[in-house]
Amino acid sequence: MIIVITGKGGVGKTMVSSLLVRCIAELKKDAKILAIDADPATNLADALGIKALMSIGEIIENFNVENSKNINFLDYLRQKISENTTHTEKSDFIEMGQGEGVGCYCSVNDVLRFVLEEKQKNYKFVIVDCAAGLEHLSRKTTTGADVLLIVTDTSEAGFRSAETIKKIAVHAGVEEDSMFLVVNKVKEAREVRKVNTGSEKTEKVKTGSEILNEKIANTKILEICRIPYDEKVIVYNNSGTPLINIPSNSKTYPRIKELAEFLAG
């Protein structure tokens, strides 16, 4: 099963990815799991508390240097990926990194498609932490996903991105019923807003959670997980402590555990 995690920048993709690795590993003790950091500004390895080896971007660059030896690119890639996979008790890990050329990682993106095709044969679960933006979907690198998790925070911008991601994913051929919304950093609903419904007499007061539920409904993406705002996540990130070790009694952990049970149970 390929699970791809997308969403606007900073909404919590890496948090969801790292804890999903832990929760699926706890749930399916014998299942082989591969975590892929597909964000060139890599930080999934830190969240998992592991050391990344050579990235796919670096492997491709080395191939370009060594190309004179007439080695078959895909054979080279297979061998180097296997050598540069980090093995841990919970999962294996590879990092896509950035390809050569300023601001261009298209070749790495193309290779991600190959990696996903190859790896799904050997791993029961492949979890892909994507970069913010639409690059992977618009280039159809991740359209082989069985599950597309679209993460948002409660901001308008987060929801707008979620809707755009859905549109592009549908256009790229991802089945709508494989897309799910994960709403992160939800604070206690204290906000109360007056909404004018036409006549002054029928002015209605909406609570924060009603407004949030409306935003969620408007996306027309099935919400499968709502994660509270959790100070512990901030503390772990600020101190550089791997998020994967967050205590089970944190606000976040039980929600991701439910998500893992829904996806893998």
Ligand X SMILES: Nc1ncnc2c1ncn2[C@@H]1O[C@H](COP(=O)(O)OP(=O)(O)OP(=O)(O)O)[C@@H](O)[C@H]1O
Q: Smaller CB distance to ligand X: residue 60 or 225? A: 225
Cβ 64 to Mg ion shortest distance, Å: 27
Count of Cβ atoms closer than 10 Å to residue 86 Cβ: 16
For position 230 contacting ligand X by CB under 6 A, the verdict is yes
Determine the interface stretch with ligand X among 65-73, 106-114, 159-167, 229-237 (rule: CB under 6 A).
229-237
**Residue 151 parent element (H or E):** strand 147-152
Determine the interface stretch with ligand X among 11-19, 63-71, 95-103, 209-217 (rule: CB under 6 A).
11-19
Cβ 177 to Mg ion shortest distance, Å: 26
Rounded (10°) CA dihedral 158, 224, 166, 127: 90
- Can you give the binding site for Mg ion, defined by CB under 5 A? 13-14
Among 234, 261, 262, 265, binds ligand X (CB under 6 A): 234
Cβ proximity of 20 and 256 under 8 Å? yes
- Residues 35-54, mask of contacts with ligand X (x by CB under 6 A): ----x---------------
CA distance 97 to 45: 12
Cβ proximity of 19 and 244 under 8 Å? yes
For position 13 contacting ligand X by CB under 6 A, the verdict is yes
Q: Smaller CB distance to ligand X: residue 19 or 116? A: 19
Q: Where are the alpha helices (DSSP H) in the chain?
A: 13-27, 44-48, 56-66, 73-83, 106-119, 135-138, 156-171, 208-219, 231-239, 252-264
For position 154 contacting ligand X by CB under 6 A, the verdict is no
Check residue 140 and give left, alpha or beta (phi > 0: left; psi -120 to 50: alpha): left
Q: Smaller CB distance to ligand X: residue 125 or 253? A: 253
Determine the interface stretch with ligand X among 52-60, 96-104, 190-198, 230-238 (rule: CB under 6 A).
230-238
CA distance 61 to 253: 38
- Residues 51-80, mask of contacts with ligand X (x by CB under 6 A): ------------------------------
Q: Smaller CB distance to Mg ion: residue 170 or 235? A: 235
CA distance 26 to 54: 27
For residue 118 the two structure tokens come to: 């190859």
**Residues in contact with ligand X by the rule CB under 6 A:** 7, 9-15, 39, 132, 184-185, 227, 229-230, 233-234, 237, 252
